[in-house]
A and B are shown apart, each in its own frame.
Chain A
Amino acid sequence: MRKKILIFPFIAFFFVLLVFFYLLVIERDPSELPSVLIDKKVPTFETDSLLNKETFISKNEFGSEITLVNFFATWCGPCRDEHVYLKRLSNEKGLKIIGVNYKDNPNKAVEWLEELGNPYSDVIVDSKGLIGIDWGVYGIPETYIVNSKGIIKYRLVGPITKKKYNAFYSKIKESED
């Protein structure tokens, strides 16, 4: 009787081991957090545009077509890496992308866009990171998919990479469902 009971801790231990091994093997990033803004309306805000002199009013910009919102900065290395994919989405797929220049030097940002090309329909300035906080940004680059009704449908934390590009593009297509 006593020996039979002793086997239970081993079974429990083996089960825990199995769970840990599964979490180790599957592809996941534990630092990636789900956004609470999914299926919610975009935050409303007004700010300066980097390239035009007009004020950017969020109410006028969302709700007519699928729009990507990309938080980037010149000091952010992975942002440079994903730039080519943003250009592909803008040039080849004709998507509207709004760039949010997060806690950056505006002059450097303009130089950066001249050097690498500008995939953005508009670039807005978030000098203090407050727009970022409103969107729940915790580490740039972050890219949000906003559907044609102005609802946030997806957030990608980290750069769009070659590996992630196709999956990300299908998320854009799914955003209208």
Chain B
Amino acid sequence: MTKTLLTIVIISIMIQLFLNNSYAVEPEEFLQNPKQEMRARDISKNIRCLVCQNQSIDDSAAPLAKDLRALIRIKVQENDTDEEIYKFLTDRYGDFILLKPPFKISTFLLWSLPFVFFIIGIFILFLHNKKSKKTFGKFNVLLIFLFFSI
């Protein structure tokens, strides 16, 4: 029981950490039009800062991130579509600038392997349970539930 409680506490802390994202956008960068600003922010969150590499340009204080944020805001004001803005950036910096890699032939394994491993995992679980002649354990249900909640 305590184990389950502990798991719940840890997971809720992790969720908090994910939700509570800080950002580096400075007030003078904001656009007057709140709708456009929201769009620029949404795009910035998907763009990798190439200096820090594991931060989005929305989070990063690097000068290049600031330049790219400004550029995205100019393009949003010029009514470029999201696709046009992403294409502009990937034409210059490659797919690496997108925090979420696109689904392509070269990224097929990257996207498909987790599902393959998940199926193998379930298979092993069932096999294991069959052998030890137990009913489908509560612990296993919790594991699968956790997987989907992520």
Contact = CB atoms under 8 A, between A and B. Distances in A.
Sorting the interface of chain B by its residue count into under 10, 10 to 19, 20 to 34 or 35 or more gives 10 to 19
A138 B71 contact: no
A36 B92 contact: yes
A138 B97 CA distance: 11
Nearest to B53: A31
A33 B94 contact: yes
Given A31-B53, A138-B51, A128 B92 contact: no
Q: How large is the interface on A (under 10, 10 to 19, 20 to 34, 35 or more residues)?
A: 10 to 19
B50 interface: yes
A163 to B, nearest CB: 24
A33 B68 CA distance: 17
Interface string A9-44: 000000000000000000000010111110000000
B132 to A, nearest CB: 12
A103 B53 contact: no
A136 B93 contact: yes
Nearest to A128: B67
A78 interface: no
Given A34-B94, A36-B91, A133 B50 contact: no
A132 B68 CA distance: 11
A134 interface: yes
Contact of B92 (A103, A129, A136, A139): A136
Given A31-B53, A33-B50, A130-B71, A138 B94 contact: no
A135 interface: yes
Given A34-B94, A36-B94, A138-B64, A133 B71 contact: yes
Contacts of A130: 67, 71
Contact of A33 (B63, B64, B96): B96
A138 B50 contact: yes
Contacts of B91: 36
Interface in B5-51: 50-51
A133 B92 contact: yes
Contacts of B68: 133
A138 B93 contact: yes
Contacts of A136: 92-94
Interface in A70-105: 103
Nearest to A129: B67
A23 B50 CA distance: 21
B47 to A, nearest CB: 12
Contacts of B90: 36
Contact of A36 (B64, B67, B93): B93
B51 A37 contact: no
23 contacts: A31-B53, A33-B94, A35-B94, A36-B91, A36-B92, A36-B93, A37-B92, A103-B63, A128-B67, A129-B67, A130-B67, A130-B71, A133-B67, A133-B68, A133-B92, A134-B92, A135-B92, A136-B93, A136-B94, A138-B50, A138-B93, A139-B50, A139-B64
Given A31-B53, A36-B92, A138-B64, 4 more contacts: A36-B93, A37-B92, A129-B64, A138-B51
